[in-house]
A and B are shown apart, each in its own frame.
Chain A
Amino acid sequence: MSTVTDVLPLAVILLGFQVFVLRRAITDLRRVLLGFLFVLLGLALFLEGLDMALFPLGKLMAEQLTHPDFIGTAGDWHSYGWVFAFAAAIGFATTIAEPALIAVAMKANHVSGGAVGVWGLRIAVAIGVAIGISLGSFRIVTGTPLHWYIIAGYILVVIQTPFAPRSIVALAYDSGGVTTSTVTVPLVAALGLGLATTVPGRSPVLDGFGLIAFASLFPIMSVMAYAQLSEWNARRQQRKYSDSEKES
């Protein structure tokens, strides 16, 4: 049901502007409406399915992994190894399934004429989220202030930007905000709250937040790195090609 309230205002605005401001009939109206219906129905089914199958299990696992019975009472951050591994794995896996990211990757692939691969972008973003969430869990366990990590991340992004290929920069910035929608947020929030409740001396209110911020920062770096790597690779191929030209 929440998808309907999500989409309804959007549909009203789109139709209102199309009809009253642009004064144009929508080309192929039936197809567009059918598409809207598919999006609505698809998203509703998708969320319903997640609610039935994956969310309860994922939340239960986050609780079990952070439970004192599993971690033991040793208390230093080494004993949280499995938590960090789980954070990285679930961050990666949920990002691959994120519908909004699939949409952006399709668009980017189309616009760049195939230079940005759909899977290349999705995997680059997923790696960024994986690093971000496990580092975020590490922060909760050690109790260091959130803003130092975020500010350090910003500085890295600013340094990396002039070195990244110009055409990727906007897309990289976008992929930060895209990653954390429907699939990732509920699981990651459960993990953060579970950790902050279990670790002695942490308050769920003060320390439980912030994982999403990590997950939206690190993909920016990993996507720029992906573009740098593929540019470097292309250049090397070209050099190899021109070398063999010379020899022959």
Chain B
Amino acid sequence: MLFEFLHSIRDSIRDILPIIVVVGFFQLVVLQQPLPDLGNIIFGTVLVVLGLTLFIRGLEMGLFPIGESMAYGFARKGSLFWLVTFAFALGFTTTVAEPALIAIADEAANVAAGGGVIENTEDSRSGYAQGLRLTVALSVGAAIVIGVIRIIKGWPIQWFIIGGYIGVVTMTIFAPAEIIGIAYDSGGVTTSTVTVPLVTALGVGLASSIKGRNPMTDGFGLIALASLMPMIFVMAYGMMF
């Protein structure tokens, strides 16, 4: 047990070593500045290593097994309605609370207020940001639902992605220029560190419990849809105001 723990600590150190090397090299060699607050840096790095070790351990003990066991449970129950409800709820709730999304939505509200799209008051800005968050969360929920149905039917992922790309490109032509950068970025930030392992376990579990589906070709792809859909929805949101 102790040996195993030391082993995973070593893995975590290896995982974050590149950051230390890059930061050290640029700070000392390129910028030629001393490292400020060395004590804080060392203590923080220890926390990072410890945290990463615990996180990976917890994944294997908690998130992966429960994601898969629920996928098996739904496959055995055979009720499409509950599976789709679960998929939507999972996508929606994990996105609404996502801190990175809250930050992006506030930023977008400032941009919109600066461009004269909405009134520059506290009220209209927070209303705009709130609406944007709901829009993104709805789109992630919808994306997970589509992805789950795709796994059940065994449709190839590339048609969905290419269709999504065409959607994004078409929306880009019509959307106001200020929203485009934010819309493109919002795709990447919606899926958090806790959501990704769970959604992946769900997809892979579902694909392996349905006959005729290959977990490798059919199980992945949920995250891809969840990062594509918000781009289209955010641009649509920008056009409505």
Contacts and interface: CB of A to CB of B under 8 A. Distances in A.
Real binding pair: yes
Interface of A: 2-3, 5-10, 12-14, 17-18, 21-22, 24, 26-28, 31-54, 57-58, 60-61, 64-65, 70, 82, 86, 89-90, 92-94, 96-100, 102-104, 106-108, 111-112, 146-147, 150-151, 154, 157-158, 161, 166-167, 169-171, 173-174, 176-183, 185, 205-213, 215-216
A46 B215 contact: no
Contacts of B189: 180-181, 185, 212
B219 to A, nearest CB: 6
Given A90-B22, A205-B114, A38 B57 contact: yes
A27 B69 CA distance: 9
B132 to A, nearest CB: 14
Interface residues of B, number: 106
B58 interface: yes
Contacts of B99: 2, 5-6
B134 interface: no
B181 interface: yes
Contact of A146 (B69, B94, B156, B181): B181
Contacts of A103: 56, 59, 63-64, 196-197, 200
B66 interface: yes
Could you tell me the dominant secondary structure of chain B's interface residues?
helix
Could you tell me the dominant secondary structure of chain A's interface residues?
helix
B116 interface: no
A14 B223 contact: no
B216 interface: yes
Given A107-B64, A166-B217, A174-B222, A210 B161 contact: no
Given A27-B69, A161-B158, A99 B52 contact: yes
Nearest to B115: A205
Given A22-B70, A35-B65, A65 B31 contact: yes
Contacts of B194: 3, 6-7, 10, 39, 43
Contacts of A45: 47-48, 50-51, 54
20 contacts: A5-B97, A5-B99, A9-B97, A37-B58, A45-B48, A46-B52, A47-B51, A49-B44, A49-B49, A52-B41, A60-B36, A86-B30, A96-B18, A104-B196, A170-B224, A173-B157, A174-B220, A178-B223, A181-B191, A209-B185
Nearest to B181: A209
A48 B90 CA distance: 26
A65 B112 CA distance: 30
Contacts of A94: 19
A169 to B, nearest CB: 6
Given A42-B58, A173-B161, A9 B93 contact: yes
